[in-house]
């Protein structure tokens, strides 16, 4: 429903799209959990799905994105949900430290 261009802007899709997405991911997670016994690769995939579900649920049904990266890839576009203008790194790399020093000078 949400991936059909003609329905994407429909009022019901705009209003309940995030909820539908979270519920669909929850159902996918339930299915993935049933395959837990299949080994390490199934468990890693299930963990990834669970972490994505948490990030999307916490952000109101939308995956948070970097606005600058989205503009670079898609050009001017309308986005829903939170836009992270400057992502923060928990452990900055030497490249990010050098970038910060260059931009602050």
Quote the CA–CA distance of 37 and 43 in Å, as a whole number: 8
Angstrom CA distances, 33 to 17, 21, 22, 72, stand at: 24, 18, 16, 36
Q: Per-residue pLDDT tens for 49-79?
A: 999 999 989 888 878 777 777 777 776 655 5
Question: 77: which 2 tokens?
Answer: 């576009």
On whether residue 91 sits in a domain, the answer given is no
> Can you give the residue range of the structural domain that contains 22?
5-62
On whether residue 45 sits in a domain, the answer given is yes
On whether residue 89 sits in a domain, the answer given is no
On whether residue 96 sits in a domain, the answer given is no
Contact of 50 with 29, CB cutoff 8 Å: yes
Burial track 60-82 (b if 16+ CB lie within 10 A, e otherwise)? ebbebbebeeeeeeeeeeeeeee
Asked whether residue 85 carries a pLDDT value surpassing 60, the answer given is no
On whether residue 92 sits in a domain, the answer given is no
On whether residue 74 sits in a domain, the answer given is no
pTM of the model: 0.59
| Sign of the dihedral defined by the CA atoms of residues 42, 48, 49, 54, in that order | positive
> How many independent structural domains does the chain possess?
1
On whether residue 47 sits in a domain, the answer given is yes
On whether residue 51 sits in a domain, the answer given is yes
Question: 25: which 2 tokens?
Answer: 């991911």
Region of poorest pLDDT, from 17-31, 32-46, 55-69, 90-104: 90-104
């Amino acid at each position: 429903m949400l991936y059909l261009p003609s329905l994407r802007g429909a009022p019901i899709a705009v209003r309940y799209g995030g909820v539908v997405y979270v519920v669909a991911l929850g159902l996918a997670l339930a299915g993935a959990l049933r395959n837990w016994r299949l080994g390490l690769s199934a468990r890693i995939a299930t963990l990834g799905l669970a972490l994505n579900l948490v990030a999307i649920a916490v952000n109101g049904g939308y995956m948070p994105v970097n606005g600058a990266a989205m503009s670079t890839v898609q050009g001017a576009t309308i986005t829903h949900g939170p836009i992270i203008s400057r992502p923060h790194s928990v452990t900055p790399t030497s490249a990010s430290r050098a970038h910060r020093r260059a931009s602050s000078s």
